[in-house]
């Protein structure tokens, strides 16, 4: 049991949950390739990963934009160099370029959010599946969000894109199982990382999150990394098509009200 000696590609691996998961994988002896759009960030991240890697693990970086298929092809190819195959994909890259009421929507921001989260994830699943099929199978974990499972007021563009990722994971899980490929997604709640720092610094929105979370604390990068590690590894070999909430029970109540950011 374990992922020592396996090869993994983590998109968005230069910071936050992607970086935390890369460190978790490397600590288990995995050959980790991280990609992102900023080379300096990736280089700094690789040093952090190498510092916790166990003997036999390796760390590789490649600049890649997940919305550009040719760059994803290059990233998958780079990730296979250590062992000749790809065992794990964690498609973590994502973000939100729109927030606010539907009638006031900046459609270009909505389009960019969907392109990054949905199309980027679809490209990664496609290319990882091709590599994994050739190598005899593997595990794909997609980055969703609680916002894709239940409404968070004014975060609708991000939410619908994350809902699409969950549905992508179900479709892919059904189709790719015959090739020995499992596909699952994680749905984090409020996490103390760079992406959410404007919320976790404090204020009415953070208070709202905590009020609606039974285990009333902010989540950590490590909380999500452990869940991804479970879904990526052989410990979950009979699990596919699952959406795992890592949110302290937030999904049991209502979504956060992002209107609190607007006064």
Helix (H) or strand (E) holding 161: helix 156-176
- Selecting among 154, 158, 209, 258, the annotated active-site residue is 158
Q: Which of 82, 32, 5 is nearest to 228 (CA)?
A: 32
Q: In 10 A of CB 146, how many CB atoms?
A: 24
Within 13 Å, how many C-alpha atoms sit on residue 97's CB side? Answer: 13
Please return the burial class of 215, using the count of CB atoms within 10 Å of its CB with bins 0-12, 13-18 and 19+: exposed
CA distance linking residue 183 with residue 171, whole number of Å: 9
Alpha carbon separation from 33 to 29, 117, 250 (Å, rounded): 13, 20, 32
DSSP string, 23-69: HHHHHTT-EEEEEES-HHHHHHHHHHHHHHPPTT-EEEEEE--TTSH
Record the tokens describing residue 195, joined without a space. 């992406």
Residue 154 annotated in active site = no
Q: Which of 26, 34, 30, 32 is nearest to 51 (CA)?
A: 26
Residues that are catalytic: 158
């Amino acid at each position: 049991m374990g992922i020592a000696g396996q090869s993994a590609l983590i998109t968005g691996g230069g910071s936050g949950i992607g970086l935390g998961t890369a460190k978790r994988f490397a600590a288990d002896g995995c050959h980790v390739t991280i990609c992102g759009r900023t080379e300096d960030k990736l280089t700094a991240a690789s040093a952090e990963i190498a510092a916790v890697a166990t003997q036999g693990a390796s760390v590789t970086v490649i600049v890649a934009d997940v919305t550009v298929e040719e760059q994803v092809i290059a990233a998958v190819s780079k990730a296979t160099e250590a062992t000749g195959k790809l065992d794990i994909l964690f498609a973590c890259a994502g973000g939100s370029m729109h927030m606010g009421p539907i009638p006031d929507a900046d459609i270009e921001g909505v389009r960019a959010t969907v392109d990054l989260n949905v199309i980027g994830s679809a490209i990664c699943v496609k290319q990882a599946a091709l590599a994994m099929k050739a190598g005899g199978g593997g595990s794909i974990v997609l980055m969703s969000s609680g916002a894709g499972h239940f409404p968070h007021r004014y975060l609708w563009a991000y939410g619908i894109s994350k809902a699409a990722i969950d549905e992508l994971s179900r479709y892919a899980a059904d189709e790719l199982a015959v090739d020995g490929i499992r596909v699952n997604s994680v749905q984090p709640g409020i996490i103390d990382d760079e992406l959410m720092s404007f919320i976790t610094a404090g204020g009415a929105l953070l208070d709202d999150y905590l009020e609606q979370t039974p285990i009333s604390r902010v989540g950590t990068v490590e909380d999500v990394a452990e869940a991804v590690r479970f879904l990526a590894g052989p410990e979950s070999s009979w699990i596919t098509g699952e959406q795992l909430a890592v949110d302290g029970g937030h999904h049991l109540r209502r979504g956060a009200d992002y209107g609190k950011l607007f006064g």
